[in-house]
Amino acid sequence: MATIQVFPNNPYQENTYLLFDTTGECAIIDPGMYTAAEQNAVVNFIKNNNLKPVLLLNTHCHIDHVLGNKFVFDQYGLKPQFHEGELIVLQAVPVWAQQTGLRYELSPLPDTYLPETGNIQFGETTLQLIFAPGHSPAHLCFYDVADNLLVGGDVLFRGSIGRTDLPGGNHNQLLQNIEEKLFTLPDTCRVYPGHGPDTTIGYEKQHNPFF
């Protein structure tokens, strides 16, 4: 049984997630911590709950989702894992940081890239990879089948979808991936997005104005 904890971080109010189970092993997903207070909140939660971070995952590599990659590496020795198609996005982050005036510490590069399909495992938890580009060129979602929860990044939001006006974005591709890969998950599946409150697949199928 996995537990998920959310930390809204940085000026973009990006959701950083910790996913952990009864073994105490924990995956850090999309670390967006920017200020010392944001960094401390995550570190203290890990410490207070005796968690052991074993994975650093990025759904995609836009600046707000990778701001904390270097911090997590320094703190826990973990390099990020994401799909190789996001490398081009990560390489553009320093320019983005310069343009927006955000402080950005260079993210380490992965030793391991994630495939389009397959599973990642830690503790007693298995995450199924769902490849859903459209918001970014090689965006992955992580589906915990046993707990019926999806860490969805910036694909699907409560009542909305990811923006597609950034480099590598594709509106039609995003809609198609949501319909074919996310809306086929159980209606009761809880979706934890990269921004804003969580939702369910069933709710979005009924109420999302984009469908």
Q: One digit per residue, pLDDT tens: the chain, 211 residues?
A: 999 999 999 999 999 999 999 999 999 999 999 999 999 999 999 999 999 999 999 999 999 999 999 999 999 999 999 999 999 999 999 999 999 999 999 999 999 999 999 999 999 999 999 999 999 999 999 999 999 999 999 999 999 999 999 989 999 999 999 999 999 999 999 999 999 999 999 999 999 999 9
Give residue-wise pLDDT tens across range 72-82.
999 999 999 99
Instruction: Please state, in angstroms and rounded to a whole number, the distance separating the CA atoms of residues 82 and 207.
Output: 31
Work out the percent of the chain whose per-residue pLDDT is above 90.
100
Give residue-wise pLDDT tens across range 170-193.
999 999 999 999 999 999 999 999
User: Which string of DSSP letters, residue by residue, matches 152-209?
Assistant: EETSEETTEE----STT--HHHHHHHIIIIITTS-TT-EEEESBS--EEHHHHHHH-T
Give residue-wise pLDDT tens across range 43-63.
999 999 999 999 999 999 999
Q: Which residues pair with 104 in a beta bridge?
A: none
Considering the domain 3-207 in this protein, what is its CATH number?
3.60.15.10
The closest alpha carbon to 9, from 176, 175, 195, 206, belongs to 195
User: Domain segments of the chain: what residues?
Assistant: 3-207
